[in-house]
């Protein structure tokens, strides 16, 4: 028996007849339903990825802080969410996003690394496995469960040479002194690069594709820095007015970018490895 297609999956989870499909990417399909509504059907890249993403979206929605598309249904392989009609980024939407992110982070998490309720411990960030093991001390947790696992993977596959790994290991050793004042676990989107911020036709920013977990709030903001975000200064200014960041946060952006850069090194190769190594050297020089 052949596997169900996106239209059949949308019909199963929504109970609505399908009136058309449009492929958005290899994993995403827009499906139009009777009545005029459209949904996005996503095929998980790995077993359990759809479940992890659905749990993350629901956890973010429960904070009643940021806008995320409603989850219409999921299983281990498929996720169906409402479609977000696209608009354009505006300064007003960016300021609202800054305030909304501050509220999301303030909603908190039980621990650093805590997965969303009903979310798996073994989750994903993009295409990379991500283990949500809990900890109470951010520097130690970040080193053990975010930076070092991807460093080891990059060394094992030859993307980072063994002799080069010492600079990242040194950053991890010095994290207690480099990390700034201790903060409680924040409720993170977890993969907040620009591609996961949709600027809606309703004039608001919407967040998709989370790798949600409990973490340090500066990590989400550092991800926005890493790959650029329209009106980023407006986002950060509004965030800081709603929830001021600890002194010196600008100097810690690279620390928080080290994790996603190492993930990208594992997934995409040497260019990101060189960026991660340069970021580690800069962190040690401060």
User: Is residue 214 in some structural domain?
Assistant: yes
CB neighbourhood size of 134 (10 A): 17
Q: Is the pLDDT of residue 66 over 90?
A: yes
How do residues 136-181 score in pLDDT, each as one tens digit?
A: 999 999 999 999 999 999 999 999 999 999 999 999 999 999 999 9
Contact 63, 123 (CB under 8 A): no
How do residues 232-269 score in pLDDT, each as one tens digit?
A: 999 999 999 999 999 999 999 999 999 999 999 999 99
Q: What residue numbers bound the domain in which 151 lies?
A: 85-286
Average pLDDT over all residues of the chain: 95
Q: Is the pLDDT of residue 1 over 70?
A: no
Contact 134, 111 (CB under 8 A): yes
Cα separation, 194 vs 88, in Å, equals 13
CATH for 214 = 3.90.1200.10
User: Is residue 244 in some structural domain?
Assistant: yes
User: Strand pairing partners for 131?
Assistant: 122
Q: How far apart are the first and last CA of the chain?
A: 60
Residues 187, 48, 12: CA angle, nearest 5 degrees: 105
The total domain count for the chain is 1
Q: Confidence band (pLDDT; 50, 70, 90) for 112?
A: very high
pTM here is 0.95
Q: Confidence band (pLDDT; 50, 70, 90) for 226?
A: very high
Q: Is the pLDDT of residue 2 over 60?
A: no
User: Is residue 136 in some structural domain?
Assistant: yes
User: Is residue 80 in some structural domain?
Assistant: no
How far, CA to CA in Å, does 110 sit from each of 14, 132, 175, 210? 32, 12, 22, 18
User: Is residue 98 in some structural domain?
Assistant: yes
User: Is residue 140 in some structural domain?
Assistant: yes
Q: Is the pLDDT of residue 45 over 60?
A: yes
Over residues 192-200, mean pLDDT: 96
């Amino acid at each position: 028996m052949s596997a169900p297609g996106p239209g059949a999956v949308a019909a199963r989870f929504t109970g609505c007849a399908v009136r058309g499909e449009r492929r958005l990417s290899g994993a995403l399909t827009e499906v139009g339903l009777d009545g005029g509504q459209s949904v996005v059907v996503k095929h998980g890249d790995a077993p359990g990825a759809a479940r992890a993403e659905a749990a993350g979206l629901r956890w973010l929605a429960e904070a009643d802080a940021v806008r995320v598309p409603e989850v219409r249904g999921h299983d281990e392989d498929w996720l169906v969410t409402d479609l977000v009609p696209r608009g354009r980024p505006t300064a007003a939407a960016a300021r609202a996003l800054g305030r909304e992110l501050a509220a999301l982070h303030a909603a908190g998490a039980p621990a650093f690394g805590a997965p969303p309720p009903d979310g798996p411990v073994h989750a994903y960030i993009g295409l990379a496995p991500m283990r949500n093991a809990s900890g109470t001390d951010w520097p130690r947790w970040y080193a053990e469960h975010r930076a070092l696992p991807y460093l080891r993977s990059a060394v094992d596959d030859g993307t980072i040479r063994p002799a080069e790994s010492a600079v990242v290991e040194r950053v991890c050793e010095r994290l207690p002194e480099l990390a700034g004042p201790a903060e409680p676990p924040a409720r993170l989107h977890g993969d907040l690069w620009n591609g996961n911020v949709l600027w809606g036709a309703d004039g608001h920013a919407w967040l998709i594709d989370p790798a949600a977990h409990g973490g340090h709030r500066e990590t989400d903001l550092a991800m926005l820095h890493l790959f650029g975000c329209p009106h980023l200064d407006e986002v950060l200014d509004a965030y800081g007015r709603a929830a001021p960041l600890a002194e010196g946060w600008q100097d810690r952006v690279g620390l928080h970018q080290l994790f996603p850069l190492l993930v990208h090194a594992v997934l995409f190769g040497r260019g990101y490895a060189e960026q991660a190594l340069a970021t580690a050297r800069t962190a040690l020089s401060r």
